[in-house]
Structure 1
């Protein structure tokens, strides 16, 4: 990608032009809002994640974005991460904090009742809000924000289940990237480094690192080790992506954590009737929704895969005479579950309307002949034209491709992003 293309595809500019997100001084820096087009993209992305997790045996939860200061003192965030947290708020005689991560809440959900080894692995997932006190100078678009929606999950498992769960999480990430059209730059084994604020537990670090190396080797993935990039409680597998300007960032992670199960005194009853300590596998398929959307906008130049596009099909009546037929066709699209708009003839010439809708995956042109015959002529975003055909056939083909969540526009719908 050359410098001009990079400027055009910068999500901070293109995302606003497409109506995906914006900011307002009265809301504050690093706190973007999502207009209808952006909300549609978010909804599609979040539904993909929830469905993938449900099929993989995850159980979804909700937890508050606030917690008492004592919660984060117990988890270790207060000692190791407080510089990135918002100051506590006084509530009566207590102090509450906007959470910097979801894992402490999930640990409390796990320990809310007695657990048996027969329940493990217990996979808890949440698309939840969290907050980071980022300095104003590093904020930018959707990549560095203060309010984050994280696709987070924590697997509570026995020690001998850790490697299999981490491998399964990596495979979920790879499937998601195929569906989204994302190409990872590299896989990074993130290790502690000198001078960092890390939990002092050498034996646990050695076990965690050994497990992640086993996972990476078994997955056949090339990776690079990087010191100083670990979480304060354990090492990570980070999936790195690069934007058009060559800036690298972490999108997805898999982490092994022996620390928090001990801090929260988590147990399960083993086959021997005794108490045993579970291990936590932290895992995020797409990382934060904000950063994922930013990367997708830049990688695809705004031409998102059809299943993710804010408008999937635009209907273009050639003249006002075809407007009733266009509206009727749009209603049928909406009933099929497609996100559809009608670009009426009073918006300009047909050519101008086609150019305006250049990033929409499907353009349905309805002229006098198509209206009289109950047919539709399709133009695809990549320039291909599909001969006029029955409306039912067109909707079935598009619907199947969208349901399959592929990156293609007119290929066989059975070629799923599996």
Structure 2
């Protein structure tokens, strides 16, 4: 009797253990499925972050077999063979900290004022970009202002360009505070002057660099497809081009949004326009056309400006897209290889670098000054440099578990983006 009772209890215990193992296995599998990488959606929003839709089409066939191009070589000046490659290196600890603060620069927009918005950690400020074969001097605002006496600068592009411009103005303002001469009602187009040096700096909002009509409500939600004229450059900057001695162009991110493409004022095709009887040409098609037109315009211009083309930049959303819990809570730079070049950035880069290479060859023949500012390699390993939750003012003051939208695309000021200007100054000084 005792033996039968023991066998019954033993069999019951084994049965329960088996059920428990199955439940644990299922839970683990479910966790893994939820942890898989997610490609964010294409959407306009108050972050200005466009992404690919859940119905994303495959990578165009002419890109599908392309190698990774993060370290693809780019054209260099004839005398650069013995110079170091300032775009490839590593981030090293730096006890010096940032060259300015949110208290010493009044030109930081609130969304990028991470310290002012309550970000508690400051370790992300204590790193310096170090090229592998040489030293990269920090931005010398006094020297730069002296070099730029009587000159004019234009920064043309999207909100990342504006982010970069604010860093530029903040660095210079540590020597002499800028005087604002103009801003439009949305503060997207602005102009500053440094009186003691007669230096003028402008930022122009032109996310496509080409003529485009966008349709949004007051919350920046699109109501219709963008109408993009791929053969007409944006007159807001072309009409001012001859007034600038130095011009920095950058674009890319907005091209992944749904758009109807026009050429000769006739619909040529589209990108992502499901349900319409248009040929889907892919955003790489439009980006390539516009970048080629940009360089054609520069080559045919009589103005002998120094042109800097800045490459597209990465985002670092983890655990989901921007609109559904995506975060960027890292506090230190990533290890090399930890973040790979995403599909969208890879396609943008596979347009930018070849088009720049062709333009560089033409520039040499025409005596034009054309330079590449390749910020992708050093930016890709800085997931700690974004505002994240701290694009909002003290987001967790009332609730430590509050759900807030993160910004993992733009950059804290001060922050890693300041060293884009170390690279920029190196390009200008070596001109």
Measured against the shorter chain, the TM-score band is under 0.3
Greater share of strand: 1
TM-score (norm 1): 0.28
TM-score (norm 2): 0.27
Q: Which structure's relative contact order is higher, taking Cα pairs within 8 Å and 6+ residues apart?
A: 2
